[in-house]
Chains A and B, each alone.
Chain A
Amino acid sequence: MNPEIGHYALVLSLAVAILMTVIPIWGARAGDAALMKVGTTLALVLAGFVGLSFATLVVAYVQSDFSVLNVVENSHSAKPLLYRITGTWGNHEGSMLLWVLVLAIFAALVALFGNNLPARLKANVLGVQGSVATAFLLFILLTSNPFTRVIPPPAEGQDLNPILQDIGLAIHPPLLYLGYVGFSITFAFAVAALIEGRIDATWARWVRPWALTAWAFLTLGIAMGSYWAYYELGWGGWWFWDPVENASLMPWFAGTALIHSAVVMEKRDALKVWTVLLAILAFSLSLLGTFLVRSGVLTSVHAFATDPSRGVFILAILVFFIGGSLALYALRAPMLRQGGLFAPVSREGALVLNNLLLTAAAAAVLVGTLYPLALEALDGSKITVGPPYFNLTVGALMLPVAFAMPFGPLLAWKRGDLIGASQRLMAAFGAGIVIAALAAYAQGGGPVLAPFGMGLAAFVVIGAVAEVIERAGFGRVPRATAFARLRGLPRAVFGGALAHAGVGVCLFGIIAETSWNAERIAGVKVGGSFEVGGYELTLDRLEPRNGPNYRDLVGVFSVRRGGVEHGTIESAKRLFTARNMPTTESGIRTMGFSQLYVSLGDELPGGGVGVRAYWKPFVTLIWIGSIIMALGGALSLSDRRLRVGAPKPAKKPKVKPDPASPVPAE
Chain B
Amino acid sequence: MLLWIAFSLMTAAAILAVLWPLRTGAATRAAGTADADLAVYRDQLAEIARDRATGLIGTAEGEAARAEVARRILRATAEIGQEGAVSGGDRRRRLVAAIALVGVPLLAGGLYLWLGSPLYPPQPLAQRLEAQPNPSDIAILIRKVETHLEANPDDGRGYEVVAPIYARIGRFDDAARAWANAIRLLGPSAVRETGLGEALMAQAGGVVTGAAKSAFEAALAADPKDPKARYFLGLAAEQDGRNAQAAAIWSALAADTPADAPWRGLLGDALARVGAEMPAPAAASGPGAADVAAAESLTPAQRQQMIRGMVERLEARLAEQGDDIDGWLRLMRAWSVLGDGAKAKSAAGQARQHFAGDTAALGRIDALARELGLGS
Residue numbers of A with Cβ under 8 A of B are 1-5, 7-9, 11-12, 14-16, 18-19, 23, 26, 30-38, 40-42, 44-45, 48-49, 60, 63-67, 77, 116-121, 141, 145, 147, 149, 151-156, 198, 200-202, 205, 267, 269, 339-340, 412-415, 471-473, 476-477, 485, 488-489, 641, 646-649, 652-653, 655, 658, 660-664, 666
Contact = CB atoms under 8 A, between A and B. Distances in A.
Nearest to B38: A649
Nearest to B93: A34
Contact of A7 (B26, B92, B112): B112
A38 B18 contact: yes
A141 B54 CA distance: 57
A413 B56 CA distance: 10
Interface in B93-133: 93, 96, 99-100, 103-104, 107-108, 111-112, 115-118, 120-128
Contacts of A42: 17-18
Nearest to A654: B46
Interface centre among A1, A646, A658 (most CB of B within 10 A): A646
Contact of A414 (B10, B41, B64): B64
Contact of A664 (B32, B49, B127): B49
Top 7 nearest A-B pairs (CB, nearest first) are: A661-B53, A119-B30, A649-B35, A664-B49, A155-B139, A63-B124, A37-B21
A31 to B, nearest CB: 5
Interface stretch (B83-91, B259-267, B353-361): B83-91
Contact of B93 (A19, A32, A205, A664): A32
B28 interface: yes
A145 B121 CA distance: 18
B289 interface: no
Interface string B16-52: 0110111011101111110111111111111011101
A38 B17 contact: yes
B136 interface: yes
B61 interface: yes
B55 interface: yes
Given A12-B11, A32-B86, A661-B50, A65 B125 contact: yes
B291 to A, nearest CB: 50
B107 A4 contact: no
Interface centre among A7, A38, A477 (most CB of B within 10 A): A38
B57 A413 contact: yes
Contact of B140 (A14, A155, A641): A155
A67 B115 contact: no
Given A33-B29, A45-B13, A67-B122, A4 B36 contact: no
Interface centre among B7, B123, B138, B143 (most CB of A within 10 A): B123
Contacts of A472: 54
Contact of A145 (B20, B35, B99, B115): B115
A614 to B, nearest CB: 39
Contacts of B118: 4
B137 interface: yes
Nearest to A153: B123
B337 interface: no
Contact of A35 (B13, B40, B42, B93): B93
Given A44-B17, A152-B136, A658 B53 contact: yes
7 contacts: A2-B122, A32-B92, A118-B33, A155-B140, A155-B142, A202-B37, A646-B36
Nearest to B50: A661
B290 interface: no
A3 B41 CA distance: 52
Contacts of B107: 14-15, 18
Nearest to B140: A155
A649 B31 contact: yes
Interface in B73-88: 84, 86-87
A472 B50 CA distance: 12
B323 to A, nearest CB: 35
Contacts of A647: 39-40, 43
B125 A413 contact: no
Interface in B55-69: 55-57, 61, 64-65, 68
Contacts of A120: 30, 33
Given A152-B138, A471-B54, A649-B35, 18 more contacts: A2-B3, A4-B120, A5-B6, A7-B112, A8-B116, A15-B104, A32-B93, A34-B93, A65-B125, A118-B30, A118-B36, A151-B120, A153-B139, A201-B36, A269-B72, A413-B57, A414-B64, A649-B36
Interface size class of B (residues with CB under 8 A): 35 or more
A652 B42 contact: yes
Contacts of A488: 50, 54
Interface of B: 3, 6-7, 10-11, 13-14, 17-18, 20-22, 24-26, 28-33, 35-46, 48-50, 52-57, 61, 64-65, 68, 72, 84, 86-87, 89, 92-93, 96, 99-100, 103-104, 107-108, 111-112, 115-118, 120-128, 136-140, 142-143
A471 B50 CA distance: 12
B10 A117 contact: no
Contacts of B11: 12
A2 B89 CA distance: 42
Contact of A202 (B29, B36, B64, B96): B36
A31 B84 contact: yes
B112 A156 contact: no
Nearest to B69: A269
Contacts of A77: 125
Given A33-B30, A269-B72, A412 B57 contact: yes
Contacts of B61: 412-415
A335 B184 CA distance: 87
Interface centre among A3, A155, A488, A660 (most CB of B within 10 A): A155
A35 B23 CA distance: 10
A376 B137 CA distance: 48
Interface centre among A36, A147, A661 (most CB of B within 10 A): A661
Contacts of A8: 6-7, 10, 108, 112, 116
Interface centre among B31, B107, B111, B142 (most CB of A within 10 A): B31
A9 B99 CA distance: 19
A16 B17 contact: yes
Contacts of A38: 17-18, 21-22, 96
A33 B115 contact: no
A344 B282 CA distance: 107
B36 A64 contact: no
Given A12-B11, A647-B39, A7 B53 contact: no
A18 B99 CA distance: 11
A34 B21 contact: yes
A267 B61 CA distance: 14
B3 A4 contact: yes
A477 B55 contact: yes
A473 B31 contact: no
Contact of B40 (A23, A31, A41, A202): A202
A479 B71 CA distance: 38
Nearest to A40: B21
Nearest to B28: A33
Contacts of A267: 44
B86 A31 contact: yes
Contacts of B17: 16, 38, 41-42, 44-45
A12 B36 contact: no
Contacts of B86: 31-33
A9 B10 contact: yes
B85 to A, nearest CB: 8
A661 B54 contact: yes
Given A66-B123, A649-B36, A664-B45, A11 B111 contact: yes
A16 B17 CA distance: 9
A536 B47 CA distance: 59
B100 A19 contact: yes
Given A30-B87, A655-B43, A661-B50, A149 B120 contact: yes
B67 to A, nearest CB: 12
A11 B115 contact: yes
B104 A19 contact: yes
A161 to B, nearest CB: 21
